[in-house]
Amino acid sequence: MIKFFKNIGPGSLVAAAFIGPGTVTVCTLAGVNFGFALLWAMVLSIFATIVLQEMAARLGIVSQKGLSEIIREEIKHPIVKGIALLLIVSAIVIGNAAYEAGNISGGALGLEAIVGDVIWKIGQLNLNIISLIIGVIAFVLLYIGNYKVLEKAFVFLVILMSVAFITTAILTKPNILDILKGIVIPVAPEDGILTVIALIGTTVVPYNLFLHASLAKTKWKSKEDLPIAKKDTLVAVILGGTVSMCIIIAASAIQKQTITNTADLALGLEPLFGSFAKYFLAIGLFAAGVTSAITAPLAAAFVASGCLGWEADLKSKKFKSVWMIIVVLGVVFSSIGFKSIEIIKFAQVANGLLLPVIAGFLLWVMNKSTVLGAYVNSKLQNVLGLIILVITIFLGLKGILSVFNVL
Nearest to 212 by CA among 185, 187, 232: 232
Q: How many CB atoms lie within 10 A of CB 376?
A: 17
Phi, psi for residue 119 in degrees, rounded to 5: -110, 135
Residue 125: strand pairing partners: 122
Q: Helix axis angle, 78-88 relative to 340-365, nearest 10°?
A: 150
pLDDT tens across 135-146, in order? 888 899 888 877
pLDDT at residue 384 greater than cutoff 90? yes
- What pLDDT is attached to residue 120? 61
* 220 neighbors 59 (Cβ within 8 angstroms): no
CA distances in angstroms from 315 to 17, 145, 298, listed in the order given = 21, 5, 12
Q: What is the pTM of this model?
A: 0.83
Which of these ranges, 200-204, 300-304, 340-344, has the smallest mean pLDDT?
340-344
Question: In terms of DSSP H, where are the helices of 192-256?
Answer: 193-203, 206-219, 226-252
pLDDT, greater one: 350 or 160: 160
Non-local (6+) Cβ contacts of 273 within 8 A are: 171, 172
Nearest to 41 by CA among 190, 203, 173, 176: 203
- What pLDDT is attached to residue 233? 92
Q: Helix axis angle, 206-219 relative to 276-308, nearest 10°?
A: 80
The model's confidence at residue 339, banded by pLDDT at 50, 70 and 90, is low
SS3 122: strand
pLDDT at residue 382 greater than cutoff 90? yes
* 26 neighbors 198 (Cβ within 8 angstroms): yes
The model's confidence at residue 76, banded by pLDDT at 50, 70 and 90, is confident
pLDDT tens across 184-243, in order? 988 877 777 778 887 887 788 788 888 899 889 888 888 888 999 999 999 989 988 998
> One-letter amino acid identity for 149?
V
pLDDT tens across 91-111, in order? 777 777 777 887 887 788 777
Of all residues in the chain, the percent with pLDDT exceeding 90 is 17
The model's confidence at residue 171, banded by pLDDT at 50, 70 and 90, is confident
pLDDT, greater one: 107 or 344: 107
Provide the CA 158 distance to its chain's centre, in angstroms.
12
**Mean pLDDT value of segment 288-304:** 87
The model's confidence at residue 1, banded by pLDDT at 50, 70 and 90, is very low
pLDDT tens across 20-65, in order? 877 887 888 888 888 899 999 999 999 999 999 999 999 999 999 8
